[in-house]
Structure 1
Amino acid sequence: MTYQAMDSSAAPLYPIREVSRLTGVNSVTLRAWERRYGLIRPQRTPKGHRLYARDDIERVERILQWLNRGVPVSQVRELLDQPEAAETPAPQMGDWASQRQHLIHAVDSLDLGRLESLFNQSLALYPVSLCIAELWQPAILQLEERWGDQFGATLQRRLLETFLRTRIGTRIYHANQLSNAAEVLVTRMPDDTSGFWALLTGLAVSSAGYRVQLIDGDLPLSEFPMAIERLGVKALLLASGQAERSDVIRRQLPRLADQADVPICLVGPVARIRASDLENTGVAVLGEEVGQALSRLRSMIDADI
């Protein structure tokens, strides 16, 4: 292995939490990259705590570049260790398509063990935003297109809802205990009975370091001003995979945005479907893709702070 971290006497060193904040890669994934694939090699304190040099952080950023181009994590080390002057070969397509098919098959066959394995493995090896964009979001879209009136579709849908609600809720709870950042309220819109998009949005926002208050149920839009005030949140994210009723989009949401003193944001397919209806209103249309929405949310919250 040609990679070596910079000596501690030559530059400052950063703890794993700071590296996670700087790169957006959570601590669990950084450890997995080190232990399972040897992608990074931080220094250690006498007590065994990891310390990362600037070279390590730059290497993490290069790893992210390869992953974003579709290279499987198992193939990244070979590419990183090539001399900089050498021409880098075009990466092969990653295994996301295969993982999506495994996920869909697990839902079709009601295989909770396989679903658990895919969930834990994907989030341990890849940044959360990449997992959502390449695995969970497109797989859910494909499943929703297939379900329709298909026999057994309701059972499959409810099983996946329950699974994600439990696993994501647990991750958000534990992440909230470790975060002192701004709090964001995430919920689904009235017509989105599954809540998939709110759950994925909540997971993404939590992984970015914010505290998340997830309301996983029906709440009249008229009650959100009180929720915002009492909970002290810095933004409200409304997610939906449906078009939602015109009255909600054209009247109730703009009215809510006028009443609230924090950003009122729309995320998920509804943001693409209804973008034109919300032009020249106070509602922030963050986009259908959760990762892109998160980037726009961060700029609004940071500017407000």
Structure 2
Amino acid sequence: MYTIKQVAGLTGVSEAVLRAWETRYKVVAPSRSQGRYRLYSDAQVEVLREMAALVGSGVPASRAAATLLAAAEPARRVGAADPDAALLQAAGRLDQAALEAAIAAGGPSGEFEAFADSWLPERLRELGEAWASGEVGVAGEHFASAALMRTIAAAFDAAGPATMPGRVLVGLPPGARHELMLFAFATCLRRLGADVVYLGADVPAAEWEQAARDHRARAAVVGVTSVHQSVDAAQDVITRLAGVVPPVSVWVGGSRRLDVTGAEVLPDAPSEAARMLHRSLLAGRA
């Protein structure tokens, strides 16, 4: 993503003119950062370069904009019918550039919490349905999941250092591997200032216990998925963590979180779950 200053340098068009083209002719609709600054995708920069070339050749700005909008209309109609079909199409074609563009268009270019709560789970649901129907193969599903994982990892790394004491372990029990939503939760929690240690998928119960002891964890969050094996494995992890000294506050999230005992239950939405645990950490209850 590019700022308006960067786009001005790339296109040779002043920031004032870029803003005018956006508001007057609607040639592009940049997303916004958390600070409400304009952010442009690679595709939008290309459109603006074409606009600049047309205007530079003597075409009036209004006619140049109309030409570009007319050329983009078929893609706009597809997007209006199914605005996020681009991700599934890119996954099916193993098209890296198209996949990254699809994620950038609907992904965390603005507020990560909105991405985690709404955009991400909906895309994962669609991806799962496409895999089940054979529309997207295993390779395509893994290809898209890896790209989404990189997107979340970038937000996790950008969250900055912890601002509150006490480590929080976040991960999945042995045998469980679907970690995208859990990683999104970990990122939301880290963005609130918690010292999050993300353990990832398929972590043996003994490793959970050792990590909690060695690093004197203040809390642990265990993801419980829909697979029966992970429920039993998660219960084993929770039971082991209950015996750690000093005590560890244990929390669970995921679609089968109500099927285990001995842990505090987190809500579905990653940002809401992160805020709940964060409040508990601040109050000294975790």
- Calculate the TM-score normalised by the size of structure 2: 0.62
- Unmatched runs of 5 consecutive residues or more in structure 2: 1-31, 41-78
Deviation at 1:160, TM superposition (A): 2.3
For 2:274 and 2:143, the matched residues in 1 are separated by 27
Query: Is the CA contact (8 Å cut-off) linking 2:251 and 2:264 kept in structure 1?
Result: yes
Deviation at 1:36, TM superposition (A): 6.1
Deviation at 1:254, TM superposition (A): 4.0
Map of 2:164 onto structure 1: 181
Deviation at 1:168, TM superposition (A): 2.5
Query: Is the CA contact (8 Å cut-off) linking 1:239 and 1:268 kept in structure 2?
Result: yes
For 1:236 and 1:267, the matched residues in 2 are separated by 11
For 1:235 and 1:201, the matched residues in 2 are separated by 14
For 1:132 and 1:163, the matched residues in 2 are separated by 15
For 1:187 and 1:204, the matched residues in 2 are separated by 14
* 1:17-32 to 2 correspondences below 5 Å: 29-31=33-35
For 2:39 and 2:150, the matched residues in 1 are separated by 27
What is the identity, as a one-letter code, of the residue corresponding to 2:34?
L
CA gap of 1:101–1:263, structure 2 versus 1, over 3 A, is farther
Three-state SS of the structure 1 residue aligned to 2:171 is strand
Work out which of the residue numbers 266, 283, 286 in structure 2 matches 1:303.
283
What is the identity, as a one-letter code, of the residue corresponding to 1:282?
G
What is the identity, as a one-letter code, of the residue corresponding to 1:30?
Q
Work out which of the residue numbers 233, 240, 256 in structure 2 matches 1:270.
256
Is 1:291 matched with 2:275? no
For 2:34 and 2:135, the matched residues in 1 are separated by 42
What is the identity, as a one-letter code, of the residue corresponding to 2:183?
L
Q: How many residues are aligned here?
A: 211
Work out which of the residue numbers 172, 178, 203 in structure 1 matches 2:187.
203
Map of 2:211 onto structure 1: 227
CA gap of 1:173–1:142, structure 2 versus 1, over 3 A, is same
Query: Is the CA contact (8 Å cut-off) linking 1:185 and 1:212 kept in structure 2?
Result: yes
For 2:232 and 2:270, the matched residues in 1 are separated by 25
What is the identity, as a one-letter code, of the residue corresponding to 2:91?
V
Query: Is the CA contact (8 Å cut-off) linking 2:108 and 2:115 kept in structure 1?
Result: yes
* 1:34-73 to 2 correspondences below 5 Å: 34-35=37-38
Three-state SS of the structure 1 residue aligned to 2:98 is helix
Query: Is the CA contact (8 Å cut-off) linking 2:170 and 2:221 kept in structure 1?
Result: yes
The Cα offsets for residues 10-35 of structure 1, whole Å up to 9 and x where unpaired, read as xxxxxxxxxxxxxxxxxx8233x144
Query: Is the CA contact (8 Å cut-off) linking 1:185 and 1:213 kept in structure 2?
Result: yes
Is 1:124 matched with 2:109? yes
Q: CA RMSD in A?
A: 3.1
Larger radius of gyration: 2
Three-state SS of the structure 1 residue aligned to 2:109 is helix
Is 1:156 matched with 2:156? no
For 1:100 and 1:189, the matched residues in 2 are separated by 32
Deviation at 1:136, TM superposition (A): 0.7
What is the identity, as a one-letter code, of the residue corresponding to 1:219?
V
Deviation at 1:257, TM superposition (A): 4.2
For 1:96 and 1:233, the matched residues in 2 are separated by 47
Three-state SS of the structure 2 residue aligned to 1:205 is helix
Map of 1:87 onto structure 2: none
Query: Is the CA contact (8 Å cut-off) linking 1:100 and 1:135 kept in structure 2?
Result: no
Query: Is the CA contact (8 Å cut-off) linking 1:186 and 1:238 kept in structure 2?
Result: yes
Work out which of the residue numbers 222, 227, 235 in structure 2 matches 1:243.
227
